Amino acid sequence: MQLAIGIRKKLEKVFNKNQADILTEVITDAYSDLVKTSDFNELKGIVKELAEAQKETQKEIGRLDKTVQQLAEAQKRTEIKVEELAEAQERTEIKVEELAEAQKKTEEELHDLVKEHKKTRTQLGGLSSAVGYRLEDEAFKALPKLLKRDYELIVQGKLKRKYITDNKGKKIEINIIGEGIKNSKKVTIIGESKSQLSKNDVNEFIKKKLKRLDGIYKEIFPVLVTYMISEHDAEEYARKKGIALYYSYDF
């Protein structure tokens, strides 16, 4: 309204009132149409921008839908894996129970085997002792003659087996023990029997018997008797250690 009044005042300066009124109306209408066209063009630009934005939004929605679908598929695969893991866990628990039962059975069988082994060792120990005693019994009879022949050692009294006190005050079992005279000197015969003699047996005899008797007797004459040697050089090794060695067939 203010725009029309301003235009009319300016036109009345040049044109009469009627002419000014008509021109004012024409100019006002033209301006109004111009504004409407501008607004329309602006609106078209806005609509275009909205359409582009909508298009991008639809693309994002499409990508989002795809992502959601992928997530749904991944979730489905995860659920399948969880089910498989649950089944595997169940199978594992069953296996663990079976292993526990098997372990228990094995322990029981092992316990029985230990008992049987202990019994067998006892029986073997008794058998070994019997074999050893048999060898010693034969040695008691044969050694006096053999020692006199080979070493000019005269056995006095009988050879026997017995326990004596060692140089640490502990009791020690001696398989073969007796007194004798060699080169006019008194000696103590200390012997041991082994079914199969090895170099390690020789060392054990020295360590566990002869050294424990150091100081107990003035002079010791060591003897080993055996059925056979388990190493080809066991006999030579024993003789180098100063030990007399006899086989059962020498008796």
Q: What is the pLDDT of residue 126?
A: 42
Q: What domains appear along the chain, each with residue ranges and CATH number?
A: 131-250 (3.40.1350.10)
Please tell me the pTM assigned to this model: 0.52
Question: Tens of pLDDT along 113-127?
Answer: 766 656 545 444 443
Answer whether residue 47 shows pLDDT above 50: no
Question: Looking at per-residue confidence, does 177 or 70 come out higher?
Answer: 177
Answer whether residue 39 shows pLDDT above 60: no
Question: Tens of pLDDT along 208-236?
Answer: 999 999 999 999 999 999 999 999 999 99
Q: What is the pLDDT of residue 212?
A: 96
Q: What is the pLDDT of residue 82?
A: 76
**Tokens representing residue 26 in the block:** 């024409």
**Bridge partners, 172 (sequence order):** 164
The lowest-confidence range among 53-57, 73-77, 81-85 is: 53-57
| Spatial contact of 167 and 214, defined as CB atoms under 8 Å apart | yes
Q: Which contacts qualify for 160-167: CB closer than 8 Å, 24 or more apart?
A: 161/133, 161/136, 164/213, 164/216, 165/216, 166/212, 166/213, 166/216, 167/212, 167/213, 167/214, 167/215, 167/216
Q: Which residue has the tokens 């040695």?
A: 139
